Chain A
């Protein structure tokens, strides 16, 4: 068990230290309202990072999730405006996200194109196509029950939290207990051995991209219903945020090992920086620098530690 924690160690310790510091420097940070707000703002990041963890475990990467997020949000809004029953919106998000994820997955898995280039291309093409189609206009005049699924703020927030928690825990459980998910780890660890063991590695890689697409689509819808209209240009920077959370959480970029709990810590750590800065009355413009610093310190710490222990490094 201790070995499992070792990799998350850096992220966990940093988070703990930061939280302790905040307790002294800005105790008002710990109001229930603030914590709830931060959690709500990061619900979508957690879902996407969960999917991203699995993509990285299978030794690939997806930098198109931000554009995917934007598209699913706009489509969700348009569908709602077009009369789609509100309860179907999350499923619509999942469907559209899965389709786009399948495009990525198909190119990576069956055409064997490198994932960094494929998702770079789709990231740019999709974002620009969305800009072109919407002309930058927000989706307005949404039906009244769009916001919070018509449930009102309190119930709506509860739905968002519980949906995220359930999905995260389900994937956490599945990643340990379902052979379908274990084959993701096997493929990421040694694709050739996995193939020889009878795993359909192409399908596994494809499925990982579909999964992250589905989770992103869902996250987009869940985020959109916090407001009463949908902006045209959401999700900028989301891909880097989620990759950073995964790495800081201790998942090696080389694949084979994934730390979903670590990803949760990573999301939390990177997510509290912004609000914490305001509470500490520091300029919010240092947020990016601190995030970058945390990433670098994490990989540095891990690289040095793995040298000392002579074990393979994180990245």
Chain B
């Protein structure tokens, strides 16, 4: 059987970073082919190449045997490839019906639109994918899961022969996820090929026929799903036993440095979160994407206004209503979205490093440039940031080094509590390790650390305790000695609540 899509020897580099080093991949009609790998293993790059959004440096792509050159988004769409990204690429100001129509209508500029037909068509599609919104609803009024469903509707509408789904259940609840599985099954039965990327192995075991594992830009092989176990997959993904990566946790844990009681921020979906963080402790915060961890962290840090609950820092009750206040109290937050929030891309390393601690490199409100350079150099060396100089714009650094700069900035503030939100996302393994060691050092120095992470291995390996969030609430807190991936995942899925 000729595969619907076949890729041979795909190579792609960005700047100096090699994202894909000769990956070969194929998927057949009527197949659900899972694609797994760590963050940064190359999955996103590969599917962007299939979607025509990126051009490979080397390699060949064949669609049902015919080689394709110079794929563009429009071309891939016309060839019957549909992609559903993690972030819905919808027009917020247009209606659902129009979004669906724009996805597949050929652009005939001056033919009158038949809205009735469009709306009917959209309604049919929506019910087929199990969505219950009106076609005339504006996309900006829809929730993330609803938007995701619209994206799926678009793909179904396109009657694509290849549907690529990138973490489709990341923000879906149980019911919606079940719905999605049904759709995937339908697609498979109708003869389409499906590439399915997910971190949730149980989904893959249920849905996929075959699985390909990527690691550091290379394919580790393609296997029938039925013959694989969790452990097999993880070993292929990670390439080593998990525990060895993480530093030993054996430092003393002191008095409470942060006490959070019934913290809520309704507008952001955070409800009644309570816990205590101690000096020198690493508290992992696990949960599925969309479980409210970032929202909670941002509420804690003053980026969102809390509307219930109390916070005490170092034993003293406080109100945190702005990041400035949080900073003054000794909190630091390294955000998840590194490019937009973690660093200022066009500032050099030096200016990024000092941005939250300008008072330390200034006198009477006036900047001391020499001091700034000196401090920036110190931190650059300490964190081993790979950059030509501290004057290099951060935009030119690799993801890992950018993250180091972001960390350096917050560590310069000498915080008591450090909140890390997905600190190793999209970073190569070497840099990850450095960051793990650093976290260990910081804990040893008595800083209380909240580590938000979606990588189970990381959470389990680094934390003293693991808090798990589900749908904006704290589902449970586990001690490291009594926790395993299974328990964490159960809590994250909202199944059983295990108390500390």
- On chain B, the residues within 8 Å of A197 by CB distance are 102-103
The size of the chain B interface, using a CB distance under 8 A, is 26
Please, how many residues of chain A have a CB less than 8 angstroms from a CB on the other chain? 27
Q: How far is the CB of A191 from chain B (nearest CB, A)?
A: 10
Q: Is A199 an interface residue (CB 8 A)?
A: yes
> Closest CB of chain A to B299's CB: distance in Å?
16
Interface centre among A192, A198, A310 (most CB of B within 10 A): A198
> Quick check: A256 and B92 within 8 Å, CB to CB?
yes
Assembled-state Cα–Cα distance A299/B73 (Å) = 38
Q: Answer yes or no: A257 CB below 8 A from chain B CBs.
A: yes
Docked-complex contact B73 and A196, CB < 8 angstroms: yes
Roughly how many angstroms separate A124 CA and B35 CA in the complex, as a whole number?
A: 58
**Quick check: B102 and A186 within 8 Å, CB to CB?**
yes
Which residue of A180, A189, A194, A199 contacts B92 across the interface (Cβ within 8 Å)?
Answer: A189
> Could you tell me the distance between the alpha carbons of A180 and B108 in the complex, rounded to whole angstroms?
8
- B498 at the A interface (CB under 8 A): no
Complexed CA–CA distance, A90 and B59 (Å)? 57
Given A177-B112, A196-B89, verify A182-B74 contact (CB < 8 Å). no
Cα distance, A194 to B105, chains bound together (Å)? 13
Interface residues of B in 396-412 (CB under 8 A from A): none
Bound Cα distance from A183 to B89, whole angstroms: 16
Q: Contact between B107 and A199 (Cβ–Cβ < 8 Å)?
A: yes
Docked complex Cα distance between A193 and B74 (Å): 11
Total of A-B residue pairs, C-beta within 8 Å: 70
Contacts of B138 in A (CB 8 A): 3
Contact at A182–B113, with CB atoms within 8 Å? yes
Complex CA distance for A8 and B112, rounded to whole angstroms: 26
Q: Which of A3, A188, A189, A199 has the most CB of B within 10 A?
A: A189
**In the complex, what's the smallest C-beta–C-beta distance from B263 to chain A, in angstroms?**
20
- CB of A289 within 8 A of chain B? no
CB of B465 within 8 Å of the partner chain: no
A188 to chain B, nearest CB (A): 7
Measured in the bound complex, the distance between the Cα atoms of B115 and A166 in whole Å is: 22
In contact, B77 and A193 (Cβ under 8 angstroms): no
Q: Within residues 159 to 210 of chain A, which ones have a CB less than 8 A from any CB in chain B?
A: 176-180, 182-183, 185-186, 188-190, 192-199
Instruction: Check A196–B94 contact: CB distance below 8 A.
Output: no
Interface CB pairs A-B, < 8 A, 23: A176-B113, A176-B115, A178-B113, A179-B108, A180-B110, A182-B98, A182-B102, A185-B91, A186-B91, A186-B94, A186-B98, A189-B92, A189-B94, A190-B92, A193-B90, A195-B73, A196-B73, A196-B74, A197-B103, A198-B73, A255-B93, A256-B91, A312-B140
By a beta-carbon cutoff of 8 Å, the part of chain B in contact with chain A is: 53, 73-74, 77, 89-94, 98, 102-103, 105, 107-113, 115, 138, 140-141, 267
Shortest 10 CB-CB contacts between residues of A and residues of B = A256-B93, A180-B109, A189-B93, A189-B91, A198-B74, A196-B73, A257-B93, A193-B89, A177-B113, A197-B102
